[in-house]
A and B are shown apart, each in its own frame.
Chain A
Amino acid sequence: MKDLLGIRELKKEAIEDILKTASAFKDVLRRDIKKVPTLRGKTVVNLFFEPSTRTRTSFELAEKRMSMDVLNFSIPASSVVKGESLLDTIKTIESYEIDFMVIRHSSSGVPNLIAAHTKASVINAGDGINEHPTQALLDAFTIMEKKGRIEGLEVAIVGDIMHSRVARSNIYCLTRLGAKIRLIGPPTLIPAEFLSHEQIKVFYRMEEGLKDVDVIMMLRLQLERQGKGFFPTVGEYFKIWGLTKERLGLAKPDAIVMHPGPMNRGIEIASEVADGPQSVILEQVTNGIAIRMAVMYLLSPPQGGKS
């Protein structure tokens, strides 16, 4: 496999292989020396055409833990504002003999376009409303760690499904691993493509959807991606679809609460839930580094090598 562009095209075995490999990297992160020489001499460019703090820092840390040389490329400092085309930018960067490109872009499909034009391994770090594969993998890894399995679990994904690449990648990932998905949110924010899937049920009210679930995955309300008119007000949104302590009580007593971050406290999730004992939000962040190390390990060697 040269690139990781999305979960949709991954087989179940490939996903399981990544999760298994990540647990070895998690062990590395627990040591005094949290670094391995595996990708020494390789170079990675982080191309972020859209703002990101946690995904970018998580990738950067994972890259450094693998002993790679890291270049960061973000929009304001780049030639993009000077009118250079995307592919010219990629060709220029490729001339530096790059092995990996990590790409975040506000338009869906950009990583696929770039992957077709470069010999480097491309990792999608989130494209538009399409996919965010490493987030879904770290979420699956976290669930595995906490629940010991994914098959047969009831997982609620709550909020703005429509504009969420995290939700999309998680739906592909978790259904492939045998979970039962419940999508909960305003009817205006649940895309029609998920209405008739045998592993997916759709609920418009938290009170029905959260009953006896094993995992609650909250999504960030992506105000910057939405037009107007999907729901009346942010305050009303919290009232109906926010995760409060009372609503958490509807889930199984040992249910875990996840959020990809950054959180809008008081909009999609109450602070006491986000900081409560069932929250695994900070563990998701730690696991993100292990998952990204595993992905880069499995995508190497980029050029296929000698026999």
Chain B
Amino acid sequence: MLKFNYMKVILSSEEIERALSRIAHQIVELNKGTKDLCLIGIQRGGVYLAERIAEKIESFEGVKVPVGALDISLYRDDLSRRKTVPAVRKTDIPFDITDKKIILVDDVLYTGRSIRAALDALMDMGRPGEIQLAVLIDRGHRELPICAQYVGRVVPTSRDETVEVRLSEEEKVVILKSSRAVEQ
């Protein structure tokens, strides 16, 4: 078990709310409306955020943007480096993604490997017209050439810290520092 010896709140509930509102507006602005737009959240954290962004878009555009959930377990590049395999969650994309403008949504952008896996998974499901990336937190330390168009907050971190997005009960984003290096 990892022991965490401090906790720092980096985004409060109100700040999350404002960040998501801004991202929602930016998405519509950059894409000049909602035509062909759809949101796909990465399991688990991204799915809830995608739904929240869709609600916000609906509130000011009056359009329900389709939302899907994507599980990337089967596309990970670290399966043979792990002791146990990750639980496979539901992939539920109830619409054809071909020629769509997909906004991929995740909670924390870190090494970029999850996004690489998500891109491969999406390519197996169709031929999207365009894929853009929205994240609540960008914590740096990229290992792949991946960057997000929409970012809630850029947070400089060290590799032995853990960023946790807590969306249940009192929602907030916290940084946890472990007493030893966090193995990814």
Q: Which chain A residues numbered 266 to 307 have a C-beta less than 8 Å away from chain B? A: 297-298, 300-301, 303-307
B91 close to A24 (CB less than 8 A): yes
Query: Which residues in A have their C-beta under 8 angstroms from that of B73?
Result: 24, 38
Q: Which A residues are CB-close (under 8 A) to B74?
A: 24, 28, 36-38, 297
Is A305 within 8 A of B82, CB to CB?
yes
Interfacial chain A residues near B88, Cβ < 8 Å: 20-21, 24-25, 297
B89 touches A38 (CB 8 A): no
A17 — nearest CB in chain B belongs to which residue? B87
Determine if A27 is an interface residue (Cβ-Cβ < 8 Å).
yes
If A24-B89, A37-B75 touch, whether A301 touches B124 (CB-CB below 8 Å) is: no
Contact in complex: A301, B82 (CB < 8 Å): yes
Q: List 27 A-B contacts (CB under 8 A).
A: A20-B87, A20-B88, A21-B88, A24-B88, A24-B89, A24-B91, A25-B88, A27-B91, A31-B124, A33-B125, A36-B74, A36-B75, A37-B74, A38-B79, A39-B79, A297-B85, A297-B88, A300-B79, A300-B85, A301-B81, A301-B82, A304-B83, A305-B80, A305-B81, A305-B82, A305-B83, A307-B183
Pairwise interchain contact A37-B83, C-beta atoms closer than 8 A: no
Task: State whether B124 touches A24 (Cβ < 8 A).
Answer: no
Chain B positions within 8 Å of A24 at CB level: 71, 73-74, 88-91
Query: Which residues of chain A (56-115) have a CB below 8 Å from chain B?
Result: none
A37, B75: Cα distance in complex, Å: 6
Dominant secondary structure at the A interface:
loop
Asked if B120 CB lies within 8 Å of chain A CBs, one says yes
**A264–B69 alpha-carbon span in the complex (Å):** 44
Q: Considering the complex, which residues of chain B in the window 79-111 have a beta carbon less than 8 Å from any beta carbon of chain A?
A: 79-83, 85, 87-91
Residues of A within 8 A of B (CB): 17, 20-21, 24-25, 27-28, 31-33, 35-39, 297-298, 300-301, 303-307
Docked Cα-Cα span, A303 to B80, in Å, equals 8
Rank and list the top 5 A-B pairs by shortest CB-CB distance, nearest first: A24-B88, A36-B74, A301-B80, A38-B74, A33-B124
Contacts of A33 in B (CB 8 A): 124-125
Nearest residue, chain A, Cβ from B117? A37
B residues neighboring A (CB under 8 Å): 71, 73-75, 79-83, 85, 87-91, 120, 124-126, 183
Contact check, B85 vs A306: say whether CB atoms are below 8 A apart: no
Chain B residue numbers with a CB within 8 Å of A27 are 90-91
**Residue numbers in B under 8 Å from A300 (CB-CB):** 79-80, 85
| Contact call B82/A37, Cβ cutoff below 8 A | no
Q: When chains A and B are docked, how far (Å) is the Cα of A35 from the Cα of B90? A: 16
Alpha-carbon separation in the docked complex, A21 to B85 (Å): 11
Contacts of B126 in A (CB 8 A): 32
Kindly list 13 other residue pairs between chains A and B, CB separation below 8 angstroms, not including A24-B73, A36-B74.
Answer: A20-B88, A21-B88, A24-B90, A25-B88, A27-B91, A28-B74, A37-B75, A38-B75, A39-B79, A297-B88, A300-B80, A303-B80, A304-B83
Most buried by A among B71, B74, B87: B74
CA distance A78 to B136 in the complex (A): 58
Taking a contact as CB atoms under 8 Å apart, the answer to whether A298 and B75 are in contact is no
A293 to chain B: closest residue by CB: B74
Verify B125–A31 contact, CB threshold 8 A: yes
Contact status B120-A298, CB under 8 Å = no
Question: How many angstroms from the CA of A45 to the CA of B133 in the assembled complex?
Answer: 41
Task: Give the shortest distance, in Å, between A13 (CB) and chain B (any CB).
Answer: 12
Complex Cα–Cα for A304 and B85 (A):
10
CB pair B89 A301 closer than 8 Å = no
Enumerate chain A residues within 8 angstroms of B87, measured Cβ to Cβ. 17, 20-21
Closest to A303 in B: B80
Distance A306 CA – B78 CA, assembled complex (angstroms): 10
> A32 — which chain B residues lie within 8 A by C-beta?
125-126
Q: Say yes or no: A301-B91 contact (C-beta < 8 A), given A24-B71, A28-B74, A38-B74.
A: no
Given the known A-B contacts A24-B91, A27-B91, A297-B88, are A306 and B75 also in contact in the complex, defined by CB atoms under 8 Å? no
Considering the chains assembled together, what is the distance between the CA atoms of A87 and B146 in angstroms?
49
